[in-house]
A and B are shown apart, each in its own frame.
Chain A
Amino acid sequence: SQQGEEDPQALSIQEGENATMNCSYKTSINNLQWYRQNSGRGLVHLILIRSNEREKHSGRLRVTLDTSKKSSSLLITASRAADTASYFCAFYNQGGKLIFGQGTELSVKP
């Protein structure tokens, strides 16, 4: 399958804790992206990491990319109830189509 695989499928944590989500893919990529989706809403682009980058930060988000293992992780530090959402990794396949993983459903309890 061309889809990215994300793990875990669901994650439940308390406010203030860190949340880590992982994504694996099978193709060569130029970049890997992470998106957030609140229930029933549109996806929001969070961060893009290029294939020649290993780590990138944006506020409380930290993304790593290991192209040798074809994997990426998204870390949300000091989580808040408002971070409750589904998180998707995405990458362009060789046909130029953006392929999404199945997502990790994050629940942050106050």
Chain B
Amino acid sequence: DSGVTQTPKHLITATGQRVTLRCSPRSGDLSVYWYQQSLDQGLQFLIQYYNGEERAKGNILERFSAQQFPDLHSELNLSSLELGDSALYFCASSPRLAHYEQYFGPGTRLTVT
């Protein structure tokens, strides 16, 4: 158990809908990262927050947004969902800003029908 929790484990929703994925980092970790993993794209970095502020952006679509709250948990919001958004979404945390190992949550499997 990495200490990173993610909810829900599974989500099935229809195209055009909006969902929110939640992540709680390891105790004491200030950095939170979001990743998307699909068969065709592999593991793609989406966005990073550090102590409540956005610090780095990857291949995140404009339909997606995230935030990190004062208690350091983070949410990833996915809107106007398309079939191609079906994937595993992982949250990871690390103690500081960069260049350290990351601890991954179990992931949320999103299926868009």
Listed in ascending order, the chain B residues whose CB lies under 8 Å from chain A are: 2, 4, 33, 42-43, 45, 48, 55-56, 58, 88, 90, 92, 97-99, 101-107, 109
Contact = CB atoms under 8 A, between A and B. Distances in A.
Overall SS of chain A's interface: strand
Contacts of B33: 98
Nearest to A91: B99
A63 to B, nearest CB: 13
Given A31-B99, A45-B101, A96-B99, 6 more contacts: A3-B42, A40-B88, A40-B109, A45-B104, A95-B56, A100-B43
A48 interface: yes
7 closest A-B pairs by CB: A42-B104, A96-B98, A43-B104, A45-B101, A100-B43, A42-B106, A30-B99
Interface string A89-110: 0001001111110110000000
Contact of B102 (A3, A41, A45, A95): A45
A103 B99 CA distance: 20
